[in-house]
Each structure stands twice: as structure tokens, then as C-alpha cells.
Amino acid sequence: MTADSRPRVSILLPAYNAENYLQEALDDLLHQTFSDFELVAVDDGSTDATLEIFERAANEDPRVVVLSGEPNRGLSTALNRGLARCRAPLVARADADDRYAAERLERQVRFLDAHPEVGLLSCAAQRMTEDAVPLGVARFPTEDGPIRLRELFVNSFCSPGVVFRTDLVRELGGFDPAYRFGEDGDMWDRLRQVTKAANLPEVLVHYRILASSLTRSTMSERERQGPVVRRRALARYLERPVSLEEAESMVTTFHARRESMGTASQLRVGLAGMQEVLSRASVREDAATVAYFRRACALALLQHADFRRDREPASAWQLYVRALRWWPRLAASRRGLGQARRCASSTAHRLLPIGGR
């Protein structure tokens, strides 16, 4: 890359008080196998050594551009400051506390060059603790159709692993500062209305889960802002108004997280909503996308059945039967058979008198 030419990729790296892990992230990003990039580092009013680390990197590598001097205004504003400075046709999001595979940019640029219809691309991610202990891999659907349906209910991109086409995001007005925590989800939802999306199946990001980012106040705001985006997407897909409560019920039912399984009432509303989405998808989507959605819903119902097995055995059995209706192949799978045995055993134990047959 010559001094007056544009790089192929702009790495957009915002940071606020990120001194603990920032150097590791910079080392990974500056030693990519694909080297035709600039790194736009945005210091969001840090009070620790973040700016010093950025400036040291800029002194050592001319590809690093540092933006500083503004007070802390939140991630959306920092992203927009950086976006305005990015010169490349592709922007690669990155976070200051994560790690990145050396071939991340190379693989993503190669894919986007081969698929000009895709304007939003991410990848699988290895979750890890603050001390880099692996916690499991987060995988997402790779094709646009399954992504479109899954995104109605839950995030389907690793945000620090996203690459997007710069002009598309600028035409949408950039990131919305109204979303203090859900800025990425809001942007990906808007971006998917004007372009196709994809995920690479390879793990290209190691995503660090920080205890400081999981405080009760922070999570409550995340939980409030997430369903707002999902409500908007669901209303658009179903072509009818969707209340925030209905959207929350659908999200809770589809996502099926053990720490937030919802009430019986939410489950009923969520199931009805998922069935309505299926009816729409059966007309609009291809067979592979519909099959993906059926299987995803069935697996969610298995999770709900397992959660309720000991407390509500009859309800658990009904959920298992309903899961089979969504995806009959579950009956022959190891997971489905195991769940059937557990539900049946628990139901018999609770419903029959002691010593009964």
C-alpha cells in the first residue's frame, strides 16, 4: 500500500479503559496474514493507559491511526468517529479485549471478494474467561436465509468478528447513539435490509467474557434494548404490530437459556409467534431455510422440556411431543431419544401412585 492509496480494509477498534487486554488485541490485529489494512484506533475518553498503548502502537506501525481528545460518550459515538475516518471499502470491527486468529482478515476478504452480494460477514467465536480459559464455541448459521430467521429472535453474528461494506453503513447513517448497548444489533438489523449476510464456520475470534460487563444494571439495560430490535424485525417479517411483551416472549421461547426460561404464559405466546413465523417462512423461504428453522425451534422446545421435567413433568412431555411435530427426525436422534426417556420416566414417577405400574 502506497502512502496515497486506499487500504483494502479498515480495522475499527474503539476502546475505553481497556489497558488490561488491549496490547494482546493489537498484537493479533497487527500481525494478520492479510496486511493491506489500516487500524483506526478510537480512544473513548479513557482514564487509564489505553491512549498510551494506542500511541505507542502508532509510533511503531504507520498503519495505526489514533483518534483521541474527546470525552467518554459511549460505544456508538466512538464507532461513528472511527467510521468517519475509515478509508477502506471494507470495515472490520474489533474489540479491545478479544483475541483474533492470524488469518481472520485473509479469510473474510477472500469470501467477500467472491460474494459481492454479501455486505455483512462474521464468523464463529471461541468464548473464554478473563484468564483465557475456553468456555465453548458460539456457532451461527452460515447462509443468509437461516440468519434472517434466527435474527428475528437472537443475535446471529459475532460483533467483534464482523466485516461490513463501508458505503452501506454510511448510507444508513452509521451507528445509533440511542442504543447504549445494542448498537451492533440495531445496525446489523438495518444493514440486513439492504444486503445479504453470511457467517464463516471457522473460529476467527476468541471472545473474552468480562465480569465487569455483566453487572446487573448493565444486563438489565441490555435485556431492555435487545427485544426492541427483535420487535422491529418481527413486526416487519409478520407484517403486523408486535408488542414488546410479545417479542420478549418469542425471544425467551426461541433462545431457551436456562437462566431465563420464562413463564408458562410467555411460553404459550412464544410458541404461537414461532408458529406464525413458520407459516410465513413456508411461503417466503426456500426448503433449506424452513428446515433450519423447524430444527432450531424443536431444539429450543427440548431445552424447555428438560428445564421443566422435574417440576412440571406433564408439561415437559407435551413440549417434547411438540418438538417432534416441529422436527420429526428428533425421534431417531440420540438427544431426542434421551429426552423422551427422561420425560417419560419423570411423568410416570409423578403421575402414578407409589408402587403403581
Cα distances from 324 to residues 1, 44, 62, 266, 294, in angstroms, run: 56, 50, 58, 21, 10
pLDDT of residue 333: 62
Q: Find the radius of gyration of the CA atoms of the chain.
A: 23
Cα dihedral angle (228, 261, 97, 134), rounded to 10 degrees? -150
- Burial category of 302 from C-beta neighbours within 10 Å (exposed 0-12, middle 13-18, buried 19 and up): buried
Residue 124 backbone dihedrals phi, psi, to 5 degrees: -75, 160
Spell out the residues 6+ positions from residue 345 whose beta carbon is closer than 8 angstroms to its own. Answer: none
pLDDT tier at 4, thresholds 50, 70, 90: low
> 122-171, pLDDT tens digit by residue?
999 999 999 889 899 999 999 999 999 999 999 999 999 999 999 999 99
Which one has a higher pLDDT value, 2 or 120?
120
CA distance 77 to 176: 8
pLDDT tens per residue, range 9-56: 999 999 999 999 999 999 999 999 999 999 999 999 999 999 999 999
pLDDT recorded at residue 224: 53
pLDDT value for 310? 76
Please tell me the predicted confidence (pLDDT) of residue 355.
28
